[in-house]
A = this chain, B = another copy of it.
Amino acid sequence: MPRAGLDRAAVVELALAVVDDGGPTGFTDLTLAAVAARAGVAVPSLYKHVAGLPALRREVALVCVVDFVHTLEVVRERHGGADMLPAMAHATRDLARRSPGRYQAVQGTSWVRDPDAGAVQQAGAQAVAELSTAVAALGVPDERRIDAVRAFRAATHGFVVLELEGGFGMPDDVDESFDFLVAGLVGGLERLSVR
């Protein structure tokens, strides 16, 4: 019997494929059994490469968060000043729609209180830092910086979650609703800087 030739990276890659194929619940539904099936290998063999399901989840999440941060970085480099934050909002929603499972991996579970998820936490902090930069570019005063970042994260994350779950009953143009939300948010934050 020839070997499958797996390694840690290959397993994570296959797990990402499982997540991507699983739609909005892809990350929740990520299972060692599914990865093993995809690899053409028995389940216990995976333990030669990853420490277990929670560890695999962390690895997957790390990839997704790093990707997300990179996306935000690109946005920052391309957009100066006031259009940076809206661009980040749209980039976030785009990612969530293109790869709902990966978005779930980024935001879904509470890595925050997981002592083994240091790398994920660090990457998450980077993402927040990018947002903070964008908020600052709007002219929001320093003492409101944290509040503004929280408001931005809450609004975009909430919207995306509701959209992915199908929480917006009627099909009235969701794109328009998102533009409305972002415009209101940016408007509100800009007004802070004027005073």
Binding site for B on A (CB under 8 A): 24, 107, 109-110, 112-113, 125, 128, 144, 146-148, 150-151, 153-159, 161-162, 165-170, 172, 174, 176-177, 180-181, 184-185, 187-189, 191
Which of chain B's residues have a CB closer than 8 A to the CB of A187? Answer: 188, 191
In the complex the two chains form, is A146's CB within 8 Å of B158's CB? no
In the complex the two chains form, is B153's CB within 8 Å of A180's CB? no
In the complex the two chains form, is B157's CB within 8 Å of A162's CB? yes
Q: In whole Å, how far is A17's beta carbon from the nearest beta carbon of chain B?
A: 23
Q: In whole Å, how far is A162's beta carbon from the nearest beta carbon of chain B?
A: 6
Which of chain B's residues have a CB closer than 8 A to the CB of A150? Answer: 159, 162, 168, 174, 177, 180-181
In the complex the two chains form, is A157's CB within 8 Å of B151's CB? no
Which of chain B's residues have a CB closer than 8 A to the CB of A112? Answer: 165-167, 169
